[in-house]
Structure 1
């Protein structure tokens, strides 16, 4: 059990009961802290979006909050999760482009195509388990934990396959 000031303990109880005004008060009190913490994870222009998602989740899941525990810690946990979600969403929505290769001060589009082909060929030369782990991470945008679940292998195995595969790719390229 944490000891809180009476004012904060009352706010947490009101939030837990779903009283109107408790969310606005939480936002006024903890919003700046949530936005500052979100900026550790996401660009400053995305911190407000993360903060909004945090307080929406706070309200939606208020029944799961235990008023005897630290509301700040709970909010920081939600903030971290929503910031990671934001980063994943941005990476999924951004188009992957093959970079143009600069040669003699000029960008050469043909070289970018050749580079992409070389990477595909190098990937094809990797052992299947290593290639699969790298492809699921890069193209599937899956975390190593998600890859382990999908392949039904231990997390350490996925980490080892990825590390070995990336090292081998470096040698091949």
Structure 2
């Protein structure tokens, strides 16, 4: 089939679509939103036909078609991203969230956490980021509950000073 496709046999393109269409559709569906799958699949087989002279039958038809599918899916994602960036109405620009303050705060918290002694940092990280209760932290670290409470309290007090 690959040799016939490279030679320009339109029947081979139909066979290629019949054989590889479902595979390409599944591959593309994992990369682009559902509404774009059909468009990308169509563009893939259009490009398969247009670039059939570059097909090296010895290397295999399926990997070549899937490589095209991946590139076209990425193109579609980029195209949609550009479209959405351009299509924000001016009224909504003022309402868009500015995440720079949140990013700055996260960086400050990370620096402050790095300045804590290891036992205090460990207790706070497990409590806040690991979402563990103080009892669960005590069990996990095999230390008394009072020790966990003291480390957490001292660590939070120190964090307050550092921030």
Q: Given the alignment, which residue of 5, 24, 38 partners 1:48?
A: 38
Q: Which runs of 5+ in 1 are unaligned?
A: 1-10, 101-108, 123-166
| Per-residue deviation, residues 37-85 of structure 1 (Å, max 9, x unmatched) | 0011001221111111110110110000001111111111111100000
Q: Which runs of 5+ in 2 are unaligned?
A: 109-163
Q: Given the alignment, which residue of 85, 96, 105 partners 2:88?
A: 96
Q: Provide the TM-score with structure 2 as the length reference.
A: 0.55
Query: Higher Cα Rg: structure 1 or 2?
Result: 2
| Larger helix percent | 2
Q: What is the SS of the residue equivalent to 2:57?
A: coil
Aligned-pair distance for 1:20?
Answer: 2.3
| Per-residue deviation, residues 68-125 of structure 1 (Å, max 9, x unmatched) | 111111111111100000011111112236997xxxxxxxx97x37x55x85xx8xxx
Q: Aligned-residue CA RMSD in angstroms? A: 3.1
Aligned to 1:25: 15
Aligned-pair distance for 1:34?
Answer: 0.3
Q: Provide the TM-score with structure 1 as the length reference.
A: 0.52
Q: Mark the CA change 1:72 to 1:96 in structure 2 (over 3 Å): closer, same or farther.
A: same
